[in-house]
Amino acid sequence: MKTSHLIKYIAGAAVIFFLLGLWYIKKDTVTVSDSRLTLGTIVEITLIGKDKQVLNDALTAAFARITEIEKITDRFTAGSEISAINRRKSPDAIPVSPDMLRMLTISRNVSDITGGAFDVTVAPLVDLWGFDVGGRLPKPEEIERTRALVDYHRVKIDENSATISLTDSSTRLDLGGIAQGYAAGEIEKILRDRGITGGVVNISGDIIVIGDKMGKPWRIGVQDPRNTNKLYAVINAKDIAIVTSGDYERCFFVDGLRYHHILDPKTGYPARGCASVTVVTRDVELADALSTAIFILGPEEGVKLVDSLKGVEVLITTEDGKRISTPGLSEIVEFVD
């Protein structure tokens, strides 16, 4: 664990946050930061306050909670809860943990409002494309055959009994579109319960901002999806979640065409139209799922969806470089190029 009054920024999936002006913080204020490799990515938590021990204890509790969530959501670990679910071939009810139940319930709700653009049963397609091992271009018949295995309606959730059932033995779950946002939300609860009033949690671009930085907003930088060494926008943030999905972190090219990991469940192919989507709202779990869904829906349908939701804003960069932002961002976003 490290303590510092000036920390470096860490690149996430599509957002980096950079903390400006920490050297102006009052001498009686402490800044602590810890970054670890967990949930398959780099997680960084930065907190400010007056009691170093309180801050360090909060960091320890936060990372312990992440470890719990990783044991539930990592489908590449045989002993995880999701792996046990994916091995089941029976339609019988499966008891699930409160965390699993909550993630699947949120996922179902987002699937419903997005017409299935967000779908936790996408695991067969993810594996077919192999983005976790560098990626490959499947044959059209492979994609069509595998696409037929994806349908979130095949996951039945009974919140009263805390069970789920899979109505098709081929159904397999992938929580990659919500697990990091869920973990960020759980960390936020822990930190606020411990009295933390200023900090930033960054889980590979799923960012939750707690309070402000001694009266000033935290400044969150959004990467240019076609030049990731540059920022193209800065969000002045306080008590908000910022989550970005982009087509550039995991991708490969064939004949000059980019193939990326954000797959459209309806076509089986990488979604087209967006290069990056940044969702800004209060609920980080919702923001995580929506950033994926909006990317898949495309700019036009994505903005329509956001317009129908209360307290949600979006910043989109299209594949051809056009930038679209909803009106609610005008007071907090600065374009820097």
Q: pLDDT tens digits for 249-290?
A: 889 999 999 999 999 999 999 999 999 999 999 999 999 999
**Choice between 334 and 2, residue whose per-residue pLDDT is larger:** 334
Q: Does 235 fall in a domain?
A: yes
- 64 with 85, same domain: the answer is no
User: What pLDDT is stored for residue 228 in this prediction?
Assistant: 82
- 238 with 322, same domain: the answer is yes
Residue 102 belongs to domain with CATH number: 1.10.3980.10
In angstroms, rounded to a whole number, what is the distance separating the alpha carbons of residues 122 and 139? Answer: 18
What mean pLDDT do residues 180-185 have? 96
**Choice between 19 and 127, residue whose per-residue pLDDT is larger:** 127
Residue 159 contacts by C-beta under 8 Å, 6 or more apart in sequence?
A: 101, 105
> How many domains in the chain?
2
Q: Does 76 fall in a domain?
A: no
Helix, strand, coil content of the chain in percent (nearest 5): 35, 30, 35
What mean pLDDT do residues 222-237 have? 92
Q: In what order do the strands lie in the sheet with 163-166?
A: 94-95, 163-166, 155-158
Q: Encode pLDDT of 30-51 as tens digits.
A: 999 999 999 888 999 999 999 9
Q: Does 74 fall in a domain?
A: no
Please state the φ and ψ torsions of residue 96, each to the nearest 5 degrees. -130, 160
- 135 with 206, same domain: the answer is no
Please count the CA atoms within 13 angstroms of the CA of 31 that sit on its side-chain side.
20
Q: Does 241 fall in a domain?
A: yes
Q: Tokens 């965390």 belong to which residue?
A: 99
Which of 118, 145, 166 is the endpoint of a domain? Answer: 166
User: What pLDDT is stored for residue 12 in this prediction?
Assistant: 40
Residue 298 contacts by C-beta under 8 Å, 6 or more apart in sequence?
A: 271, 272, 273, 274
Residue 195 belongs to domain with CATH number: 3.10.520.10
What angle do helix axes 98-113 and 52-73 make, rounded to 10 degrees? 70
The radius of gyration computed from the CA coordinates of the chain, to the nearest angstrom, equals 20
Q: State the average pLDDT for the chain.
A: 90
4 - beta bridge partners? Answer: none
Residue 64: enclosing H or E segment and its boundaries?
Answer: helix 52-73
Q: Classify strands 206-211 and 240-246 as parallel, antiparallel or unpaired.
A: antiparallel
The answer on pLDDT for 77 being more than 90 is: yes
What mean pLDDT do residues 119-137 have? 94
- 198 with 330, same domain: the answer is yes
Q: Does 75 fall in a domain?
A: no
Q: Tokens 């008590």 belong to which residue?
A: 239
Which range has the worst mean pLDDT, 22-31, 71-80, 89-98, 206-215? Answer: 22-31
**Are residues 244 and 205 in contact, defined by beta-carbon separation less than 8 angstroms?**
yes
The answer on pLDDT for 103 being more than 80 is: yes
Is the torsion defined by CA of 183, 189, 195, 196 positive or negative? positive
What mean pLDDT do residues 70-76 have? 95
Which of 142, 166, 190 is the endpoint of a domain? Answer: 166
Burial of 22 (0-12, 13-18, 19+ CB in 10 A): middle
- pLDDT bucket at 1, cuts 50 / 70 / 90: very low
**Containing structural domain, residue 205:** 2-68+178-335
- pLDDT bucket at 26, cuts 50 / 70 / 90: low
- 211 with 331, same domain: the answer is yes
Q: Does 277 fall in a domain?
A: yes
In angstroms, rounded to a whole number, what is the distance separating the alpha carbons of residues 235 and 181? Answer: 18
**Are residues 135 and 193 in contact, defined by beta-carbon separation less than 8 angstroms?**
no
Tokens standing for residue 321: 């470089």
30 - beta bridge partners? Answer: 49
Which of 135, 166, 197 is the endpoint of a domain? Answer: 166
In angstroms, rounded to a whole number, what is the distance separating the alpha carbons of residues 126 and 136? Answer: 11
Q: Encode pLDDT of 183-216 as tens digits.
A: 999 999 999 999 999 999 999 889 999 998 888 8
User: What pLDDT is stored for residue 19 in this prediction?
Assistant: 41
Residue 242: enclosing H or E segment and its boundaries?
Answer: strand 240-246
In angstroms, rounded to a whole number, what is the distance separating the alpha carbons of residues 98 and 269? Answer: 33
User: What pLDDT is stored for residue 205 in this prediction?
Assistant: 87
- 215 with 242, same domain: the answer is yes
- 185 with 162, same domain: the answer is no
The answer on pLDDT for 4 being more than 90 is: no
- 251 with 206, same domain: the answer is yes
- 15 with 145, same domain: the answer is no
Residue 190: enclosing H or E segment and its boundaries?
Answer: helix 179-193
- 249 with 121, same domain: the answer is no
The answer on pLDDT for 7 being more than 90 is: no
Q: Does 309 fall in a domain?
A: yes
- pLDDT bucket at 129, cuts 50 / 70 / 90: very high
In angstroms, rounded to a whole number, what is the distance separating the alpha carbons of residues 222 and 229? Answer: 11
The answer on pLDDT for 21 being more than 70 is: no
33 - beta bridge partners? Answer: 2, 46
What percentage of the chain carries pLDDT values higher than 70? 92
117 - beta bridge partners? Answer: none
- 56 with 100, same domain: the answer is no
- 226 with 331, same domain: the answer is yes
CA separation (Å) from 210 to 196, 239, 297? 8, 5, 30
Q: Does 330 fall in a domain?
A: yes
